[in-house]
Structure 1
Amino acid sequence: MNNLSYFLTRTAAANGSRPAIFHGETTHSYAWMDRQVSRLANGLVSLGLKPGDHVGLILANNPSGLVSLFAPLRAGMTIVPMNPKLHPQEHGYMLENSESRALIVSASLLDGLLAADPDLPDRLVVIAIDRPAGDDPRIVDFADLLARSADRFEDADVDADDIAWIFYTSGTTGKPKGAMLSHRNLTTMVNTQLIEFNPVKASDRLAYIAPLSHSNGLMAFQHVARAAGHVFPTFSRFTAGDFYRMVERYRVTTAFMVPTIIQIMLDDPSHKEHDLSSLHTVMYGGAPMYVDRLKEAVDTFGPIFVQGFAQGEAPMGCTCLPREEHLARDEVGERRLGSAGRECLFVKVRIFDNDGNQLPPGEAGEIVVRGDLVMRGYWKNPEANRAALQDGWLRTGDIGYLDEGGYLFLTDRKKDMIISGGHNIYPREIEEVLYRHPAIQEATVFGLPDRKWGERVVAAIVRKGAAELDEAGVVEWCRGNLASYKKPTEVHFFDELPKSGYGKILKREVRILVGG
């Protein structure tokens, strides 16, 4: 019963007739979902995959994506979900680095990958959802594979510490790192979620508006375990109005949102035109949310918000600020609205100085975490493991402090990370792309506060000699090499950039020069 697929196996056996999936006019039961997962598991085995093999996932938010999340796990394989918003070159790197044997990909995302990397690894079997195989022998049709596979497959025996999910998280070196999450890690996450964040019931329905590769995929497990419903959008781009209609039509109870989405909802008054009374839990995190906007959200939508602090290396979650504490209006309560809450069950959260000494309340240092929630390490990256995992503690790289009541306040990011719209963006990665431009002599990238996105990406550039280059050219260069959300939204040009005595560009002084 160590296998995460057990949650589905148990629910299908006990509640097979309950509705599992809602998508447009279509509803599917848990018995149907269980059969589809078994068919895909059998299909993967028929293609030569074995327990322990890695399966890449680039999935749109639809029922086939949820089936694809569970099937490799049922067969004892490791899933490698990738954010569909990433650039195809980034997907290609993750597939190569993770040594994936198969890729399950939505049709809308496949063409870009093949165009960017026509010479995919020979070992890679590509299974395309909603796209006929055609003449390319590398591509297997998802529907055809399921149709010719048996609908019974016993959960593979796995050890609790076997790797279930490789979660790629941005790194300061410019290349993503694969956090290895075991079945034990994710089972701990499920228990933490059910106890601390939301005690899911069978009558609950989860809206899939965040990527399956991140929060929504992680939240799937506890909702499957409790026989709750999974509601998939028919829209491709989030609008407040579409979400309100989705909640009203399907009686959605639960969603995960980054603060940017909450702010979009606050800026759209059409919520008054819809019945949102079913919505009782909105988990949020991944970016700063200012206290005044949070108070406005509670006043507008009610006490439905739950915040957590987590990382891909210790997922959902390390700390929790529950619904009831969002209602506090005294001086202490309002101050703690700016916190990420207190440590959850099954995890310890402390503040260390640079020498690994624990700091007292109120003193800022690096946030460290330990417990069964913490990853086993980074895939094929011993240097990163030595830096991140020390004496049983995960060094998160985030700076913050604990107040006298144990509430965690994040104050900075140790490695200059930018958080924009809930996405973690590392300047070094963008700088490396900029330095490849033939007209750029020097570049530095940093974040500036932004009311809508939390932070916006800003670049400061020194051109080479008399080279001609404008803001549009810089943005277009980044668009061709990075995920769209990573490209600068603001570019400043200088004759020279301020530097330290060691020749290092001084980001803080550059921020001042651009008015940040």
Structure 2
Amino acid sequence: MPNIGRGIRPGRAETRTLSRIPYGSVLTRLAHRTPQRIALICGEEAIAWGALEASANRLARAFEAQGVRPGDIVSLVLPNGIELVTSILATWKLGAVPNPLAPAMPVVELAAVLKRADPRLIVGGEGKVHANTVGSPAVLPAGYQADASWSSDPLDERIAPHERALASGGSTGLPKLILPKAEAVYDTENHSVFAKARRVAGVPGPLYHAAPFSACFQPLFAGCQVVLMKRFDARLFLAMVERHAVDRVTVVPTMMLRIMRLPPKERLAYDVSSLECVMCGGAPLPEWLMQAWIDWLGPDVMNEVFGPSERIGGTAIGGREWLEHRGSVGRPVGGARIKIVDDGGHELPPGEMGEIWMMPSTGPGTTYQYRGAEARLDTEGWESVGDMGYLDSQGYLYLGDRKSDMILSGGQNIYPAEVEAALESHPRVQSSAVIGLPDDDLGQRIHAIVEVDEQEAESSTLSLEEIRDWLGERLVGYKHPRSLECVSHSLRDEAGKLRRSRLREERLFSKPR
């Protein structure tokens, strides 16, 4: 695999059409146009375009003094906030590649990701990553301020060879790095729904995941105001929409569930009439939950999307279309193609569940490269990241689950996401995770971990019998859990991702009943 770390490829200023602008230069143009207008809000902090440009220019020069050159990776172990956004922008201004990482990532995983990234500079992560990092990168602490001694003048234009370097969710092992093959260049002729510069985009998810990352910078580069949450909270989300008249947000099913679990009187007290577009993705969305949001906000507001971070393809569906194809994530968009394949590599007919394989519109192997893994391609160049699903006769895609998470119990294939969707329709269940544990009789038994409030978890009043009764009208019997565990802590990360492999390993070690 090609080395894409230090000195991998020079950023460059080149002859280009006016519609393609280096990411670092987009900010310069917007700051020149409306320097006093607020660009970014996070909590009680706000920064105008002019100040954001000046801060990013100073920080870029400070990064450069630490040895960062075009093509280098800069690892940013920082929480959501203006500091993180400014650091990403500063990295692009140098023609370097930002690598935002979760500050809460376990030390072993963080060390593995940093080894793969081979960054020239690490910002943040004090006391957690430096002793485990090879290559002796430069280090700056979280909260570092590039003071007025650094010039705030615009830098020469440079193009980063990759827009970003994001760590995967690690659902099948240690996280790998995913680097888009596209350069960090903004196409002014293709900025989709964010074309109106007066729009306000809300970003409740962490920028170390692909969807929130795009949901932040696509509208920002279109001149929209972006409101970033430090971390998701259902009440604060509604308050953000009301206070800033947010008109579009990108959410994951866990966020939607937590908002819908608020007392109706409290949820309906917030004015969210400004919302024009709610985009959901990142995990299978239970049908009942999508319907609840359509009932609340209307079908014209709701949208669902599906597509891996590798950008090999994707689907989309609007609320009205969804009502005619309930449970679907839509049909392929952008010229991508999808097929469903069985374990023997044979393409399956409509209605049969199998592994989802995609072909990007630009052809095989054109959208990304890994560090720490090899792409899965068939002989014709179709690619898969392990998601399961089926197509109907009209080409609409319906998701199953990750192939690696499938449970084989008593000879039956069981997809955890289906069981989790049914569990989370229970009014006392805030979230859930379903895993397979060894069973002498069945091979694997279904073990359900349900997130409830603290009092519920301590009293253990939610019983397996109650859960099985609830599921009786929703799932066939062999899909019912045979053991139950109630917890009060969050089962998913800030981006709504579930690490079933880790949950399974923890319970195998502790031998739950």
TM-score higher than 0.5: yes
Q: How many Å apart are 1:126 and its aligned residue?
A: 1.9
Q: Does 1:279 align with 2:275?
A: yes
Distance 2:341 2:310 in 1: 18
Provide closer, same or farther for how the CA distance between residues 150 and 492 of structure 1 changes in structure 2, counting only shifts above 3 A.
Answer: closer
**Code of the aligned partner of 1:456:** A
Q: Does 1:345 align with 2:369?
A: no
Q: Does 1:377 align with 2:369?
A: yes
SS in 2 for 1:396: coil
Indicate if the aligned counterparts of 1:255 and 1:282 stay in contact, CA closer than 8 A. Answer: yes
Partner of 2:380: 391
**Code of the aligned partner of 1:265:** I
Gaps of 5+ in 1: 131-141, 419-445, 463-470, 497-509
SS in 2 for 1:49: coil
SS in 2 for 1:79: strand
Q: Describe the superposition over 1:84-103 as per-residue Cα deviations: whole angstroms up to 9, x where unpaired.
A: 34213322221112111111
Q: How many Å apart are 1:258 and its aligned residue?
A: 1.2
Partner of 2:444: none
Q: How many Å apart are 1:174 and its aligned residue?
A: 2.0
SS in 1 for 2:503: coil
Indicate if the aligned counterparts of 1:352 and 1:368 stay in contact, CA closer than 8 A. Answer: yes
**Code of the aligned partner of 1:272:** L
Q: How many Å apart are 1:325 and its aligned residue?
A: 2.5
Is the helix fraction higher in 1 or 2? 1
Q: How many Å apart are 1:271 and its aligned residue?
A: 2.1
Indicate if the aligned counterparts of 2:159 and 2:185 stay in contact, CA closer than 8 A. Answer: no
Provide closer, same or farther for how the CA distance between residues 318 and 483 of structure 1 changes in structure 2, counting only shifts above 3 A.
Answer: closer
Partner of 1:230: 226
Provide closer, same or farther for how the CA distance between residues 237 and 416 of structure 1 changes in structure 2, counting only shifts above 3 A.
Answer: same
Partner of 1:257: 251
Q: Does 1:96 align with 2:122?
A: no
Work out which of the residue numbers 224, 237, 245 in structure 1 matches 2:239: 245
Partner of 2:316: 320
Partner of 1:309: 306
**Code of the aligned partner of 2:258:** I
Q: Describe the superposition over 1:386-434 as per-residue Cα deviations: whole angstroms up to 9, x where unpaired.
A: x24753332231122222222111123222279xxxxxxxxxxxxxxxx
Work out which of the residue numbers 287, 293, 300 in structure 2 matches 1:291: 287
Q: Does 1:168 align with 2:170?
A: no
Q: How many Å apart are 1:252 and its aligned residue?
A: 1.6
Q: How many Å apart are 1:209 and its aligned residue?
A: 1.5
Q: How many Å apart are 1:457 and its aligned residue?
A: 5.2
SS in 2 for 1:271: helix
Q: How many Å apart are 1:77 and its aligned residue?
A: 0.8
Partner of 1:213: 208
SS in 1 for 2:383: strand
SS in 2 for 1:32: helix
Distance 1:71 1:323 in 2: 38
Distance 1:200 1:410 in 2: 31
Indicate if the aligned counterparts of 2:118 and 2:134 stay in contact, CA closer than 8 A. Answer: no
Provide closer, same or farther for how the CA distance between residues 122 and 377 of structure 1 changes in structure 2, counting only shifts above 3 A.
Answer: closer
Instruction: Give aligned-pair identity as a percent.
Output: 27
Q: How many Å apart are 1:52 and its aligned residue?
A: 1.0
Q: Does 1:456 align with 2:469?
A: no
Indicate if the aligned counterparts of 1:461 and 1:492 stay in contact, CA closer than 8 A. Answer: no
Work out which of the residue numbers 142, 154, 178 in structure 2 matches 1:129: 142
Q: How many Å apart are 1:339 and its aligned residue?
A: 0.9
Q: Does 1:44 align with 2:39?
A: no
Indicate if the aligned counterparts of 2:204 and 2:232 stay in contact, CA closer than 8 A. Answer: yes
Work out which of the residue numbers 391, 404, 422 in structure 2 matches 1:415: 404
Q: How does 1:459-474 map to 2 (within 5 A)?
A: 460=437
RMSD: 3.7
Q: How many Å apart are 1:351 and its aligned residue?
A: 2.7
Q: How many Å apart are 1:295 and its aligned residue?
A: 0.8
Work out which of the residue numbers 326, 347, 351 in structure 2 matches 1:362: 351
Indicate if the aligned counterparts of 1:11 and 1:224 stay in contact, CA closer than 8 A. Answer: no
Q: How many Å apart are 1:75 and its aligned residue?
A: 0.9
Distance 1:493 1:98 in 2: 31
* Comparing 358-367 and 289-298, the one that deviates more: 358-367
**Code of the aligned partner of 2:367:** M
Partner of 1:118: 131
* Comparing 304-313 and 343-352, the one that deviates more: 343-352
* Comparing 14-23 and 207-216, the one that deviates more: 14-23
Q: Does 1:84 align with 2:97?
A: no
Q: Does 1:22 align with 2:41?
A: yes
Indicate if the aligned counterparts of 1:368 and 1:393 stay in contact, CA closer than 8 A. Answer: yes
Distance 1:345 1:35 in 2: 36
**Code of the aligned partner of 2:134:** P
Provide closer, same or farther for how the CA distance between residues 361 and 33 of structure 1 changes in structure 2, counting only shifts above 3 A.
Answer: same
SS in 1 for 2:174: coil
Provide closer, same or farther for how the CA distance between residues 95 and 171 of structure 1 changes in structure 2, counting only shifts above 3 A.
Answer: same
TM-score, length of structure 2 as denominator length = 0.72
Indicate if the aligned counterparts of 2:25 and 2:157 stay in contact, CA closer than 8 A. Answer: no
Indicate if the aligned counterparts of 1:101 and 1:125 stay in contact, CA closer than 8 A. Answer: yes
SS in 1 for 2:76: strand
SS in 2 for 1:165: coil
**Code of the aligned partner of 2:302:** F
**Code of the aligned partner of 2:131:** P
**Code of the aligned partner of 1:361:** P
Provide closer, same or farther for how the CA distance between residues 13 and 344 of structure 1 changes in structure 2, counting only shifts above 3 A.
Answer: farther
Distance 1:417 1:228 in 2: 41
Indicate if the aligned counterparts of 2:28 and 2:154 stay in contact, CA closer than 8 A. Answer: no
Distance 1:313 1:72 in 2: 22
Distance 2:175 2:510 in 1: 32
TM-score, length of structure 1 as denominator length = 0.71
Q: How many Å apart are 1:243 and its aligned residue?
A: 1.6
Distance 2:270 2:75 in 1: 39
